[in-house]
Amino acid sequence: MMTVIATYSSLGLAAKIAKVLADDVVLIEEKVFPDGERYVRVPQRLSGDIVLVHSTHPPQDSRIIELLLTIDALKGAGAERLIVVVPYLAYARQDKRFMEGEPISIGVLLRSIEVAGADVFVTVDIHRPGSLDEWLRIPHLNVLPVAQLAEYFRDRLREPLVLAPDKGALHRARIAAQILGADYDYLEKRRDRITGEVKVLPKSLNVKERDVLIIDDIVSTGGTLARAAESIVAVGGSRVYAACTHALLVSGALDRVYQAGIEEIVATDTVPSPVSRVSVAEPVARALMELLSQ
């Protein structure tokens, strides 16, 4: 028996995870002081295994502070084993010093979560899974919801080709292609590290009379997806679909991807969004049950 703790950042997903686990949900009290500092409070005494579900999508910095404060509050309220589930983990893309003088942001974040009091850490489709091994000493797990995203498209695509927008994302395309009985490939992407501008290099692909499904971890501005879709249309592709785990959808991203010719984009509910049609509640709940039975 566990108790699932929800914050407002992930209330819907926490409730779904609790339903799968047949456990109770306790909602954290939250407020902001007039000077902008945040306050959280656990409304009851706790014991045993406690599962906190809290995503760190924008505004990520205040959600990160809430996460760290809530971890400390839960330990103080009696949590014996605290399993911290962060469905979307912010700052994961800054996983090395790309340029001299930069921080390794993901390292700072993961070490802070451990120091605050997490006993077990679970996340969903972290940008580079190796980051967890590099920075955490506590048990940890990365849940990959590619099968659930691929299932959404089962029987909806005509002779599908699954594409990763860059080589680093190829593992997602491979898994989705296996499930859909499709071919898979990747595009060559270049991002300007100063301006953030994305270019997708031309590639010859056999896309005539076929539907293309682009699969990625994050859609933020939608620039990557839009450039990828344009490169497919340029070689004769007609119907392009997209799936992603974390739909941050900032700066008019949805308009950008639809204008680039994407028919439909589907995401999971790690970040609540208008296209979050696939839930990670089942795979996360299964991972928790497995972890806790060890």
Q: What are the catalytic residues?
A: 189
User: Between residues 116 and 218, which has the closer beta carbon with respect to ligand R5P?
Assistant: 218
User: Between residues 178 and 221, which has the closer beta carbon with respect to ligand R5P?
Assistant: 221
User: Between residues 160 and 222, which has the closer beta carbon with respect to ligand R5P?
Assistant: 222
CB 124 within 8 A of CB 218: no
Which of 217, 229, 245, 279 binds ligand R5P (CB under 6 A)? It is: 217
CB of 218 to ligand R5P, least distance (A): 4
Closest by Cα among 165, 172, 176, 271 to 225: 165
CB of 47 to ligand R5P, least distance (A): 40
In sequence order, the 6+-apart residues with CB closer than 8 A to the CB of 65 are 38
d(C-alpha 196, C-alpha 134), whole Å: 26
Q: Does 95 interact with ligand R5P (rule: CB under 6 A)?
A: no
DSSP string for 45-89 = ---SEEEEE----SSHHHHHHHHHHHHHHHHHTT-SEEEEEESS-
Beta-bridge partner residues of 195: none
Q: Which two tokens stand for residue 88?
A: 């979307």
Phi, psi of 195 (to 5 degrees): -90, -20
The piece of 104-112, 149-157, 219-227, 280-288 that touches ligand R5P (CB under 6 A) is 219-227
* Binders of ligand R5P in range 182-211 (CB under 6 A): 198
Which of 218, 247, 267, 275 binds ligand R5P (CB under 6 A)? It is: 218
Beta-bridge partner residues of 241: 213, 264
User: Between residues 77 and 233, which has the closer beta carbon with respect to ligand R5P?
Assistant: 233
Q: Does 231 interact with ligand R5P (rule: CB under 6 A)?
A: no
State whether residue 230 is helix, strand or coil: helix
Position of tokens 């991972």?
287
CB of 167 to ligand R5P, least distance (A): 11
The piece of 103-111, 128-136, 214-222, 267-275 that touches ligand R5P (CB under 6 A) is 214-222
CB 273 within 8 A of CB 247: yes
Which of 117, 145, 160, 223 binds ligand R5P (CB under 6 A)? It is: 223
Please report how many Cα atoms fall inside a 13 Å half-sphere around the Cα of residue 172, on the Cβ side: 31
Which of 55, 56, 220, 273 binds ligand R5P (CB under 6 A)? It is: 220
d(C-alpha 76, C-alpha 72), whole Å: 6
User: Between residues 112 and 221, which has the closer beta carbon with respect to ligand R5P?
Assistant: 221
CB of 145 to ligand R5P, least distance (A): 15
Total residues in contact with ligand R5P, by rule CB under 6 A: 13
CB atoms within 10 A of CB 255: 12
Q: Does 219 interact with ligand R5P (rule: CB under 6 A)?
A: yes
What is the binding site for ligand R5P (CB under 6 A)? 93, 165, 169, 198, 216-224
